[in-house]
Chains A and B, each alone.
Chain A
Amino acid sequence: DAGVTQSPTHLIKTRGQQVTLRCSPKSGHDTVSWYQQALGQGPQFIFQYYEEEERQRGNFPDRFSGHQFPNYSSELNVNALLLGDSALYLCASSLAQPRGGQFFGPGTRLTVL
Chain B
Amino acid sequence: QQQVKQSPQSLIVQKGGISIINCAYENTAFDYFPWYQQFPGKGPALLIAIRPDVSEKKEGRFTISFNKSAKQFSLHIMDSQPGDSATYFCAPTGLTGNQFYFGTGTSLTVIP
Interface positions of A (Cβ within 8 A of B): 4, 31, 33, 35, 40-45, 48, 50, 55-56, 58-59, 90, 92, 99-107
Tell whether, in the assembled complex, residue A106 and residue B42 are in contact, meaning their CB atoms are under 8 Å apart: yes
Measured between alpha carbons, how far is A99 from B105 in the docked complex, in Å?
23
Interface of B, helix, strand, loop or mixed by DSSP:
loop
At the interface, yes or no: B25 with Cβ under 8 Å from chain A?
A: no
Q: Select B43's contact among A4, A58, A99, beta carbons within 8 Å.
A: A4
- Determine if A43 and B99 form an interchain contact, defined as CB atoms under 8 angstroms apart: no
- CB <8 Å contact, A43 and B44: yes
B103 contacts which of A42, A58, A92 (Cβ < 8 Å)? A42
With an 8 Å Cβ cutoff, the count of chain B residues facing the other chain is 24
Contact A56 B97 (CB under 8 A): yes
A104 CB contact (under 8 Å) in B45, B97, B99, B103: B45
Contact in complex: B98, A101 (CB < 8 Å): no
Contact A41 B97 (CB under 8 A): no
Most chain A C-beta atoms within 10 Å of own C-beta, residue among B43, B45, B89 = B43
Q: Are A43 and B89 closer than 8 Å at their CB atoms?
A: yes
A106 touches B99 (CB 8 A): no
Instruction: Please provide the chain B residues from 90 to 112 with a CB less than 8 Å away from any CB of chain A in the complex.
Output: 91, 93, 97-105
Minimum CB distance partner of A107 in chain B: B43
Instruction: Decide: A90 and B43 in contact? CB cutoff 8 A.
Output: yes
B43 and A45: CB pair below 8 A? Answer: no
Chain B residue with the shortest CB-CB distance to A96: B98
Q: With a CB–CB cut-off of 8 A, which chain A residues contact B44?
A: 43, 90, 104
B49:A41 contact, CB within 8 angstroms? no
Chain B contacts for A100, CB-based, 8 A? 32, 49
